[in-house]
Chains A and B, each alone.
Chain A
Amino acid sequence: MSQSMPSVKPLLLQFQQLFALSKFVGVLPQDLTQFRTKNVLEKSRNGMFYMIGLLIIYVVLYIWLIIAFGEDDPAVKASQSTLTFVIGLFLTHIGLIMMATDQITALFNQGQLGDLYERLRVVDERLYREQCLVDNSYIAKRIRVMIIMTVIFELFILVSTYIKLVDYTQWLSLLWIVSVVPTFVNTLDKIWFAVSLYALKERFEAINSSLEDLVTEHEKHKAFLARDDDGNDTAGNQTADSSESQPPQYDANLEYLYKELGGIDIGSLRGSGSKSRNRVAPIAHSLNSFGERIPRKPHQINPNQMMNMAHESELSNATKVEEKLNNLCQVHDEICEIGKAMNGLWSYPILSLMAYGFLIFTAQLYFLYCATRSQSIPPLFRSAKDPLITVIILVYTSGKCIYLIYLSWKTSLASKRTGISLHKCGVVADDNLIYEIVNHLSLKLLNHSVDFSACGFFTLDMETLYGVSGGITSYLIILIQFNLAAQQAKEALQSFNSFNETAGLVGSATEFFNTSSTLYNLETTTMMTPSNY
């Protein structure tokens, strides 16, 4: 058992770079040195103040940015339609809202986040004892890839927009750099969520694969038995019989015991915060009840030893299988609970991200349309003037949302898969006792499934994505129709005005500006319409 400990490395070990980065940018307030040395997330007062300070600086800078670019030229405000103006006003602030939600939730959750990973580590240890190995090394690579992708996207959007669309002769234009802050902070936060979710999915899959391994092993075992002659068969029959006649009462008691033990185990582990105590508890527990489980692993790998095979399939031994299945189900429950807790921690950020994704996607497409009709668009959405940058932004935003949705869908599917694999064990063993165990556990699993949702408003699965994509399209069509109608109304008004003007009735400076810009609009719309239809 002692050598098993170092092999269960905490998941957070893989998060080193991500944590350093997010600490620096102000996504998480936890203590950096504690994380470096012990791989735990601990509350930190200094980190909190640092983060609040950063948040305030970001907000101030961003509002300054909005004002500075909003007052770029008052003519834009005057000439754009009310629809565009209102949408722009609302949408320029949603990035800010999203960032603030992320950071404030992170501040509130700084204690609970550490517990979450601690629980995950305990789960890993229990899984290790059941001989399901979870490989965490991919996670570090994943994190690196995600960070690199984020940086590439953000830099591309920032630089290309700055060079192409911002007037960089003024020093104030450097303020444009602030415009990437909200999305960057948000993406870092979501990388935490996505990677943790991925880790959960891995755990579920590890459970499933270990159950499937049981099945294949037993099938081999049965094939071996089938090839055996009758004498052996009756012998096996008798042994099976004897093992069957005893267990029922014994097992019923044992099940209770395990449940009690398991419950205590989880409770004690969850309650204890420090790491040293946590390490002790599982060892003691495992020595008590699962002491003989670990050494059996090595000779399972060797399928050539036919004589051993007859006794080896775990499914032929009901008591041992019951232990194993019970443990796996408890771990499954625990992972489900962790998933729910995680979803709870990130529920508001995810809701704000989804709202942001939906609105920005619609708005960017709408402004792209406006820009092709050379109507004026809000200054913070100037990236919509260039189709390529728009595409990159859309890919970036939607990629973020879709990846999260896809992962949570997959995780929830993997958790549902466990029940099926469990039943496979039952069917393949075809033993009354195992059937009873399996049925009992299966009901439990049926009630324990993780469904990720955003504050309970909608579940995070692909069907939501389908609905949202439909929503975006229909809103876009409606917006474009309104825009067309507004343009036509404006044209009519303008032609009336210009008629009046030539008659020499009205002639103020502002109105002159109005007419010239809308005359331009009129000209372009009449030019563009036939080519499109």
Chain B
Amino acid sequence: MIQHHIEACAKVPDLKEILILGYYLAAELAQFVSEMIQKYNVNIRYLQEFTALGTAGGMYHFRDQIRSGNPEGFFVLNGDVCADFPLEDILEYNRSKIAAGSSPLITVMATETTRQQALNYGCIVMDQLSGHITHYVEKPSTFVSTLVNCGVYFCSPELFQTMATVFNMKQSNFYNEHCYSGSNDPINKDSEAIQLEQDVMMPLAGTGRAFVFPTARWWSQVKSAGAAVYANRQYLQLYRKTHPERLAKNTDAVIIGDVHIHPTAVVDRTAVLGPNVSIGAEATIGPGVRLRDTLVLASASVGEHSLVAHSIVGRSVRIGSWARVEGTPCDPNPNKPFAKMDNLPLFNNDGRLNPSITILGCSVKVPSEVILLNSIVLPNKELTRSFKYEIIL
């Protein structure tokens, strides 16, 4: 998923380095990072947080690494969003504000959403004339604005001073509470956690040093697996403009709409793929297979005459013949302007699974002739029958 972020960053002229911050073990990402360095010819380092530090805690912790080389500023991109990232435009916008005499600490990419959905995001009130953030509320309980934070920022190195203030304040608060409560817990990991949204942006609102970059380009959160199918559709659509060579042609199989087939995948010529299908490396798609709105990950195989729709087929999954693997799309309502995806919880109020895409974990085996409908199958399961609306543990 973050390869898209890396690709967007690598396109920015004079970008010096990409830092990936996370709580995953460094070993898990080592191969990916070295592949990305080769592919995009850019410096990339992974910095592992010792504990989950919140959206800004990690940045503050690694402030020296980020500041090294004295950059003009740095982009911050949340890993769980996908977008047609307008990074160069944000940079341009930021520079224009400096040229106009402002000294922005942070510029936030923002997008319009519906009144109802805005409540799930960080809502921004913007001064139309200056572009200042005048008010910021994270996930408000009542309506504040339809302009929401996209989790994409351009920051000045000076922002670390603001963070230092927040950090010191939190530390001293913690120290005081800690002494009074007489707790013996020597380290409180929360004390170093800083939320960029609540702890940094909210105080900066109204100071004239936080700016908004509104964009009408495509943007979405990817918080649930269902969002991945939607994000895939949008990225493929983007490829049509930016990288048409990545889209499959009718010579490979019968292609409908936007389809990406990895060069090492084997797809039978009688298969019918699309729209919105991505086939991973070394995957095998058999004769007469029908795929629609689906991601087939590396080394997976789909047997002849099977249909897979609105699903994610994990790595090394095996699907038999005449099987049907189907989910329910959870794309944004196309009839509502600015509508985003609803990230529904997994279960509804009755404790039943909400209809969503079907997900097959890695190395799952699906026998011939069964149907899997709106289900989630955990890795390495060998199924022997049909399932509907179930999580198979």
Same complex: no
